[in-house]
Structure 1
Amino acid sequence: MLIVTENELLNLMNNRIVKMLKITLCTVPLQKYAESTLPLNLL
């Protein structure tokens, strides 16, 4: 079994959250931009 310290666990979780946040920050403006430029009937 692998022994993981609390700090390592926290780091892993933080990294995952940061990655998700970065992805969200990138995709949300793109979606908003697409929504504003594309006619609604195309979506």
Structure 2
Amino acid sequence: VEPGIYLPGHMGLRIEDTVIVTKEGCEVLTKTPKDLIELDV
């Protein structure tokens, strides 16, 4: 699953999750945090 947002001329962001889909539902395998970190560069 790769939802993304793109602001032309400004930035783009994509978050990727790996999931397993079974008869009972789904399980997200990706364990990385999804906290927003703002950087001044």
Q: TM-score range by the shorter chain?
A: under 0.3
Write 1 or 2 for the structure with the bigger share of helix. 1
- Give the structure-2-normalised TM-score: 0.18
